[in-house]
Amino acid sequence: MEIKEAIRRAKQNDQKAFNYLLDTFWDDVYGFQLKRIENENDAEDITIQTFSKAFDKIETFNDEFKFKTWLITISKNIHIDLLRKDKMHITQRNLNDDEKAYQILDESPSVEDKLITEQNLAKLLRDIKKLNPHYQEVINLRYFQELSYKEISKQLNEPMNNVKVKLLRAKKLLAEIIQTS
């Protein structure tokens, strides 16, 4: 899939296109933030917020510009906004209307979902323990406590889009751990 095609499909709410864009540009955005703030957790939080905001506003993307540049600009603006708020620790911003949050994930199981459900439970739990704690938590809430995105959003006190992107990232990382172990 080419980037322009992925963007076109993402504008039509195609889950595979969102996955492709996340996989393609995650390292660029994360690397950009890591150089700016030199803290892995904060860089990851801002990267998650960047994709959340970008996917929520994908229909506003202008094809005359490079998608990577657009993402980096969103990421830079999020970081500047957080600095302006003069917080010691970077926190997630709440969206006013989670009900209208973009539906990033569809109901059909992804490749990662299938890999996860096929694993022996004991091995799966060991693999989950290898994830960062915030990824462990979102996996636990979604797959073991079977909470909806809205319920997870309330429990974590995070916008629903952040929960969706964090879960998407957690599933990707867990699938990589499962495949290499």
Tell whether 130 is covered by a domain. yes
At 89, which amino acid appears?
H
What's residue 6's pLDDT? 92
Mean pLDDT, rounded, for 121-135: 83
- Tell me: do 72 and 105 sit in the same domain: no
One domain for residues 105 and 176: yes
Contacts of range 132-139, beta carbons closer than 8 Å, 24 or more positions apart: 132/41, 132/44, 134/166, 135/166, 135/169, 135/170, 135/173, 135/174, 136/170, 138/163, 138/166, 138/167, 138/170, 139/167, 139/170, 139/171, 139/174
State which of 84, 118, 134 marks the end of a domain.
84
Domain shared by 80 and 103, yes or no = no
Average pLDDT over residues 52-67: 90
Distance CA 42, CA 96 (A): 23
Same domain flag for 113 and 66: no
Question: What tokens appear for 157 in the block?
Answer: 């006190």
Range of the structural domain that residue 75 is part of:
3-84
Indicate whether 79 and 124 sit together in one domain. Answer: no
Query: Residue 167 domain-assigned?
Result: yes
pLDDT band at 74 (very low <50, low <70, confident <90, very high): very high
- Give the per-residue pLDDT at 148: 87
Boundary residue ending a domain (36, 57, 84)? 84
Do 105 and 153 meet the contact criterion of CB atoms below 8 Å apart? no
Q: What is the mean pLDDT of residues 124-128?
A: 82
List the beta strands (DSSP E) in the chain.
none
Residue 78 sits in a domain whose CATH number is 1.10.1740.10
Within a domain: 154? yes
**Domain assignment present for 160:** yes
Q: Based on the fold, state whether residues 27 and 60 are members of the same structural domain.
A: yes
- What is the number of structural domains in the chain? 2
Residue 76 reports pLDDT greater than 60: yes
Residue 161 confidence (pLDDT):
82
